[in-house]
Amino acid sequence: MLSRLVIVSASALKGSGPLGAGLVQASRSLHTTSQSLAPVPPLPETGGKVRHGLFPEELFQLLYPKTGVTGPYMLGTGLLVYLLSKELYVINHETFAAASIGTIIVVGVKKFGPSVAAFADKLNEEKVAKAQEVKDQAISVLTQAIEDEKKEQWRVEGRSMLFDAKRNNVAMLLETNYRERLHMVTTEVKRRLEYQLALQNLHRRMEQEHLVSWVEKNVVSSITPQQEKESIAKCITDLKVLAKASQAQARA
Amino acid sequence: LVLSFFDQFLSPTFLGIPLIAVALALPWVMFPALPSQWLPNRQLLLQSWFINRFTQQLLLPLNTGGHKWALLFASLMLFLITLNMLGLLPYTFTPTTQLSLNLGLAVPLWLATVIIGLRNQTTVALGHLLPEGTPTPLIPVLVIIETISLFIRPLALGVRLTANLTAGHLLIQLIATAAFVLLPLMPTVAALTAVLLLLLTLLEVAVAMIQAYVFVLLLSLYLQENI
C-alpha cells in the first residue's frame, strides 16, 4: 500500500521537473481556488490492481519502459538469489513453517475467495435492492396517483353529459306525472258524468215502469166480468175457426 | 548464537524498547474505521458483518444489563483472534503466548463479573456455590469444591489460552525443524513430515480462532451467571 504511494508520487514528481518540490510547498499557501469540497470525486469501485496477489501493477508499469515485461521478475529473482547467497536470509525451520502457512493461505484464498467475494457483493446488493425497492414503490405509487388523477379529470369531463341526462330524466318524470294526473282527472270527470247519466236513465226507466204498471193495473181493473166472459167466448170461436182452417190446410 | 526452541517466546526488546507494545498495537491496523459511505468495500463489509453477527450471537443469552459488555466482548474477540492468527505467520511474535498477558486479560474481567454478581444479587451469586439437589451431608464439601472451582476460573482462562498457543507454536517449530533436518538425509520422510506440518498448521489456524472464541464465550457465561 505504501509502496504504491511511493511509486506513484515518484513518477509524478519525476515528470514535474525541477520545480516539483517547490510547487508542493507553494500550493499550500496560495489561495488559487475556492477550496470547495463539492462535488466530491467518485470513489473507486474496485481496489488497486495487483499481480500475483501481492505486487501492485504500478511497479510493473514503472519498470516497463526501461526493462520491458520481464524486468520486475528479474528484479524479484535477483533479489531472492542475493538474499539467499549472501545468507542475509538464512533457510531454517521457519522457512518450512512459512512454506506451510503460505500454502494454506494461497489455497484458502484461491478456493474460498470467489465465494466470499460473492457473499460480500450479495450483502451490498441486498442493501441496494432494499433502497431500490423503496424508490420503485414510491415511483409506482406516484404513477398510480397520476393515472387516478387523469381518470378523475376524464370523469369530470363526462359529468356535464351526466347532468344533461339527469335533466332529461327529470323532465320526463315531470311529463309522465302531468299526463297521469290529466288521465286521472279525465277518468274522474267521466265517472261523475256517467253517474249522472245512469241516474237519469234509472229515473226514466222507473217512470216508465211505473206508468206501464199503472196503465196495466187500470186496464185490468177496468175489465168487468161481463166483458171478460164475452172476450173469452170470442176467443173460443176464433180458435175453432182457426182450427178448422188449419185442419183444412193440413188435408190439402 | 544457539537458539533454543523457547526463544520464540521471549518478549522481544530492541535497544531496551519493549516491542511487545508494537505487537499489541498491530491488530488496530487491521480493522480500519468505517468510512461515511453507504456501500463499503468488500473487506470492511465482511469485517463489519462478522463483528455484527458475532456480537449478536454472543449477546443472545444475556439480559439487557449484560449488553453493556458488548463493546468489550467484541473488541476482546477481535483482539485475540487477530493476535492468534498473525502469530501463525513466520518470524512473528504472538503476545498471547505470554502468561502475563493472558492472566492480565482474564483476572480483571473475571473479577469484574464476580464483583458485579456479589454487589447486585448477593444471595443468588452465593447460591451458585451450591448446585441444586445435593444431599445434605455433602453440602460443606461441595461448597468448598465450588469455591475452589470459582477461584480457579481466571487461572484456567489464562492458562488455557497460553498453553494452547504455546504448544501449537512449539509443535510447529519442532516439526518444521524435523522436516528441515531430515531433508538432506531422508527426503521421503521429510516429505511426510512436511505433510504433517501442513495438517498441523491447519489445526493451528482452527485452534487460534477457537481459543479466542472460547475465552470470550466463557467470560460471557460468567457474566450471564452474575448479571
What is the mean pLDDT, run by run of 10 residues, along chain B of 227 residues? 78 88 92 86 91 94 92 95 94 93 96 94 90 88 92 96 95 93 92 93 94 94 91
Q: Is the dihedral of CA A136, A141, A146, A150 positive or negative?
A: positive
Asked if B188 is an interface residue toward chain A (Cβ–Cβ < 8 A), one would say: no
Chain A CB contacts of B46 under 8 Å are: 116, 119-120
C-alpha cell at B177: 525443524
Whether A93 sits inside 8 A of B88 (CB atoms) is: no
Asked if B102 and B158 touch (Cβ cutoff 8 Å), the reply is: yes
Domain annotation covers residue B194: yes
Q: Which residues of A touch B173 (CB under 8 A)?
A: 93-94, 97
What total of structural domains would you count in chain B?
1
Q: Is residue B35 part of a domain?
A: no
Check A127 against B91: CB less than 8 A apart. no
SS3 A147: helix
Residues of chain B with C-beta less than 8 angstroms from the C-beta of A97:
90, 172-173, 176, 197, 201
Task: Indicate the helix (H) or strand (E) that contains A150.
Answer: helix A93-222
Could you tell me if residue B167 is inside a domain? yes
Decide if B180 touches A, using CB distance below 8 A: yes
In a domain, B181, yes or no: yes
What's the ipTM? 0.87
Tell me what percent of the residues of chain A surpass a pLDDT of 70. 88
Distance between A127 CA and the closest CA of chain B, angstroms: 8
Q: Record the pTM.
A: 0.70
CA distances from A54 to A48, A50, B47, B64, B148 (A): 11, 6, 21, 45, 52
Measured in residues, chain A has a length of 252
Across the interface, of B45, B197, B200, the residue whose CB is closest to A120 is B45
Task: Find the distance separating the first CA and the last CA of chain A, reported in whole Å.
Answer: 165
Cβ contact (<8 Å) for A96 and B46? no
Contact B117, B225 (CB under 8 A): yes
Residue of chain A with shortest Cα separation from B202? A104
Q: B107: which 3 cell numbers? A: 483476572
Q: Which of B49, B177, B198 sits opposite A123 (nearest CB)?
A: B49
CB contact under 8 A, B176 and A96: yes
Contact A124 B39 (CB under 8 A): yes
CB contact under 8 A, A100 and B197: yes
Mutation target to probe the B interface, by most B beta carbons within 10 A, among A40, A95, A100, A104 is: A100
**What are the residue ranges of helices labelled H in A53-92?**
57-67, 71-85
Q: How far is A1 from chain B (nearest CA, A)?
A: 13
Amino acid (one-letter) located at A230? E
The answer to whether residue B7 is domain-embedded is: no
Place of cell 490492481: A49
Q: Are B11 and B18 in contact, with CB atoms under 8 Å apart?
A: yes
Asked if residue B55 is part of any domain, the answer here is yes
Instruction: Select the residue from A43, A101, A121, A122 to test the B interface by mutation, using most B Cβ atoms within 10 A.
Output: A101
CB A96 within 8 A of CB B180: yes
| Sign of the dihedral defined by the CA atoms of residues B178, B183, B185, B186, in that order | positive
* Cβ within 8 Å, pair A96-B197: yes
Helix (H, G, I), strand (E, B) or coil at B6: coil
Q: Is some CB atom of chain A closer than 8 A to the CB atom of B179?
A: yes
Structural domain span for residue B164: 19-30+42-226
Q: Is B185 on the interface with A (CB under 8 A)?
A: no
* pLDDT score recorded for residue A26: 54
Tell me, yes or no, whether B11 lies in a domain: no
> Could you report the average pLDDT of every consecutive run of 10 residues in chain A (252 residues)?
63 54 57 73 81 90 92 94 94 91 94 94 94 96 97 88 91 96 97 96 96 93 84 93 93 84
- Pairwise CB contact (< 8 Å): B38 & A127: yes
Is residue B36, in this structure, part of any structural domain at all? Answer: no
| Interhelix angle B139-185/A93-222, nearest 10 degrees | 120
* CB of B29 less than 8 A from some CB of A: no
Q: Which residues of A touch B (CB under 8 A)?
A: 43, 47, 91-101, 103-104, 116-117, 119-121, 123-124, 127-128
Position B16 scores a pLDDT of 87
Report the residue of A93, A105, A128 to disrupt the B interface, i.e. the one with the largest count of B CBs within 10 Å.
A93
